[in-house]
Structure 1
């Protein structure tokens, strides 16, 4: 079983859906029920640091992340269903966590 992180971007077309607490509660309940949810959190704004360069605001605003387990990347896509950011037309980026 592989591990994945779903990054929710702050670019939802319908912010009312993306931030609806009831929709998030339903979605989180379905993640917990799957038995493949390993945590997550909302994320605040950030700053990019590069040695020898001026600090800049993060170019992509990531509003939160979820950690899940799935057989492969295609199977991890099933966790998009019901995700309020995704359902609101926003971006959800799925990244595999490589095993050492």
Structure 2
């Protein structure tokens, strides 16, 4: 999730997050997630740089494919507040 929602109050509302996460857990497809704070970008033989401020957190869900993962957008406070949510596939082990 990105930190670009026009309605930051709604995107950060703890009650909305509690409701959304409870709904995800009830589906049996929720595999965790976290908000994200500041950090650094590191490259060998270069000075460290501050990490970008565009990402605010992530959520892991189990889905058959990217299309299936889109069903979990509904209710996401960042998405509902007009912010950006990226969906990415993780490697299967």
Structure 1 residue runs of 4+, over 2 Å off? none
Equivalent in the alignment of 1:54: 47
TM-score (norm 1): 0.86
Shift of 1:46: 1.4
- 1:45 and 1:61 in contact (8 A); partners too: no
Equivalent in the alignment of 1:74: 67
TM-score (norm 2): 0.92
- How many correspondences in the alignment? 93
- 1:9 and 1:63 in contact (8 A); partners too: yes
Equivalent in the alignment of 1:35: 28
Once residues 32 and 52 of structure 2 are traced to their aligned partners in structure 1, the CA distance between those partners, rounded to angstroms, is 25
Moved more, 49-58 or 76-85: 49-58
5+ residue gaps, structure 1, are 1-7
Once residues 99 and 22 of structure 1 are traced to their aligned partners in structure 2, the CA distance between those partners, rounded to angstroms, is 33
Shift of 1:60: 4.6
5+ residue gaps, structure 2, are none
CA RMSD in angstroms comes to 1.1
More strand, by proportion: 1
Equivalent in the alignment of 2:12: 19
